[in-house]
Amino acid sequence: MTASDLPNHCDTGIYLLGGGGHALVVADSVSSAGHPIAGFYDDADDSAISTCSLSGQKPPARLADLAGLSAKTLAGKPWIICLGGLALRRDLIDRLYAAEEDAASVVHPRAIVSKAAIVAGGVFVGPGAIVNPGARLLDHAIINSGAIIEHDCLIAENAHIAPGAVLGGGVSVGNDTLIGLGARVLPGVTIGRGCVVGAGAVVTKDVDDGESVVGCPAR
């Protein structure tokens, strides 16, 4: 599956909401897929993306402050959240709910997403990631570089699967949950809403809403 196959994608240019390190990864993915970047919103004066050219082009212009952004501003414009922090992302999701139909999904050309997977709006799948058949990626989920989502997994809204994490078949990850760098989640495990799974953890049993777990096995 390529970026052009995904729902709500627009070839007239995507607005990137955020300008830090994660925005660089998303911007590179957009550019690598051959799609234009319309511009980006960010509050920082020294946004990482403001000094980085993409595919030999000048950086896309900064458009306005992120804190003042509203759904009305983005009406009819394709956009994707490029912030890494889940709390900040959740704030934007709630504020921009009325513009949800314009949320664009981005898949890096070197990612593999099965045609039998479901990808909702605003999803990002990074380079080297694999999403296998039957997986469902809900709105604004992040499948970061090199992560593996096995068959029949559910990645809920605004969940972040960090680089190198591996989820076995049938895993369920709740809204606003972070699965840390290189973590492993065994098949069939359910991880609730608002959880944090530490880097390198091996999760062998279900994790309740709001819990943080670390270690091998994760506790």
- Annotate 101-161 with DSSP letters as a single string: GGBPPEE-TT-EE-TTSEE-TT-EE-TT-EE-TT-EE-TT-EE-TT-EE-TT-EE-TT-EE
Residues 7, 96 within the same domain: yes
User: Residue 117 has what pLDDT?
Assistant: 98
Query: Does a structural domain hold residue 168?
Result: yes
Residue 93 has pLDDT above 70, yes or no: yes
Single residue among 52, 86, 103 that ends a domain in this structure: 103
Of the two residues 156 and 33, the one the predictor is more confident about is 156
Residues 9, 95 within the same domain: yes
**Mean pLDDT, range 44-68, rounded to an integer:** 76
Query: Does a structural domain hold residue 219?
Result: no
Query: Which domain CATH number covers 203?
Result: 2.160.10.10
User: Residue 56 has what pLDDT?
Assistant: 64
Residues 95, 128 within the same domain: no
Show the domain range for 31: 3-103
Residues 175, 93 within the same domain: no
Residue 216 has pLDDT above 90, yes or no: yes
pLDDT tens for 158-195 read 999 999 999 999 999 999 999 999 999 999 999 999 99
pLDDT tens for 20-34 read 889 999 999 998 888
Residue 10 has pLDDT above 70, yes or no: no
Single residue among 103, 134, 160 that ends a domain in this structure: 103
**Mean pLDDT, range 137-158, rounded to an integer:** 98
43-52, 106-115, 181-190: least confidently modelled range: 43-52
pTM for the model stands at: 0.93
pLDDT tens for 33-45 read 888 888 889 988 7
Residues 116, 187 within the same domain: yes
Strand, helix or coil for residue 15 = strand
Residues 84, 138 within the same domain: no
Residues 150, 193 within the same domain: yes
| Pick from 28, 197, 67: nearest CA to 205 | 197
Query: Does a structural domain hold residue 27?
Result: yes
Residues 74, 129 within the same domain: no
Query: Does a structural domain hold residue 20?
Result: yes
| Distance spanning both ends of the chain, measured CA to CA | 36
User: Residue 1 has what pLDDT?
Assistant: 42
Residues 52, 114 within the same domain: no
CB atoms within 10 A of CB 206: 12
5-9, 15-19, 80-84: least confidently modelled range: 5-9
Structural domains in the chain (count):
2
User: Residue 19 has what pLDDT?
Assistant: 87
**Mean pLDDT, range 54-78, rounded to an integer:** 84
Residue 157 has pLDDT above 70, yes or no: yes
Query: Does a structural domain hold residue 185?
Result: yes
Task: Give the CA distances from residue 100 to residues 6, 15, 76, 109, 208, in Å, rounded to whole numbers and listed in that order.
Answer: 15, 13, 10, 24, 28
Q: What is the mean pLDDT of the chain?
A: 91
Residues 92, 141 within the same domain: no
Single residue among 103, 124, 143 that ends a domain in this structure: 103
Cβ-Cβ contacts under 8 Å for 137 (sequence gap 6 or more) = 117, 118, 119, 120, 123, 125, 131, 143, 149, 155
Residues 175, 201 within the same domain: yes
